[in-house]
């Protein structure tokens, strides 16, 4: 698997970001909104980058000729694929929350009873494919992971980043300097 330099990451969004997955919002709009929520809440730079890049695995699937999430019944494990692809370029402070953002949804459904009701229709459908709410042992294991707190924060921004119109956020190129600063040299 080739490394993903910042230019390659941005090109992936430029090319595939106008596509939708199992949501009404485009991949790019979702990424930009999620990152904007992280910035508004004062997240550390690495967590803002994670918010921007959290669904890059969906774009990789499309790039490689695969189906969009929601078009197949299997879980495509986009969170793991994206984190692996980004790992040669970004540290665990970026890739850890990305790798755990689906687990964070399952976790929140298990520990916050009202959380499930607030999921978008696409997230509710994917939750089924992803294993549903965590059981007690999974919850305990998740809580021991060093990136779990950031993953839960990312999950909240992910859920909020699905507005289809009337949202003004910085464009993709506005994040270039942040990504270049965080990229391993």
Give the whole-number percent of the chain exceeding pLDDT 90.
Answer: 68
The whole-number pLDDT of residue 100 equals 96
Q: How far apart are CA 141 and CA 170, in angstroms?
A: 36
The whole-number pLDDT of residue 72 equals 63
Confidence tier at 122 by pLDDT (50, 70, 90) = confident
CATH architecture of 6-182: Orthogonal Bundle (1.10)
What b/e string do you get for 49-59 counting C-beta neighbours within 10 Å, with b at 16 or more? Answer: bbbbbbbbbbb
CA 99 vs. chain centroid, Å, equals 8
Six-digit token pair at 55?
A: 């669904």
Write the pLDDT tens digit of every residue in 1-19.
Answer: 444 589 999 999 999 988 8
pLDDT of residue 185 exceeding 60? no
Write the pLDDT tens digit of every residue in 70-115.
Answer: 556 666 688 999 999 999 999 999 999 999 999 999 999 999 989 9
pTM over 0.85: yes
């Amino acid at each position: 698997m080739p490394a993903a330099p910042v230019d390659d990451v941005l090109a992936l969004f430029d090319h595939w970001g106008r596509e939708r997955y199992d949501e009404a919002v485009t991949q790019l709009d979702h990424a930009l909104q999620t990152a904007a929520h992280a910035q508004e809440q004062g997240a550390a730079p690495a967590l803002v980058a994670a918010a921007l890049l959290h669904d890059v695995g969906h774009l990789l699937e499309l790039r490689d000729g695969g189906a969009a999430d929601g078009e197949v019944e299997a879980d495509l494990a986009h969170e793991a694929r994206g984190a692996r692809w980004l790992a040669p370029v970004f540290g665990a402070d970026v890739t850890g929350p990305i790798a755990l953002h689906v687990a964070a949804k399952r976790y929140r459904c298990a520990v916050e009873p009202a959380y499930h009701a607030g999921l978008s229709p696409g997230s509710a459908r994917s939750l089924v494919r992803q294993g549903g709410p965590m059981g007690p042992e999974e919850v305990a294991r998740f809580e021991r992971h060093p990136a779990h707190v950031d993953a839960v924060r990312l999950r909240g921004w992910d859920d909020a980043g699905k507005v289809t119109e009337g949202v003004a956020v910085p464009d993709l190129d506005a994040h270039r300097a942040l990504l270049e600063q965080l990229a391993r040299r």
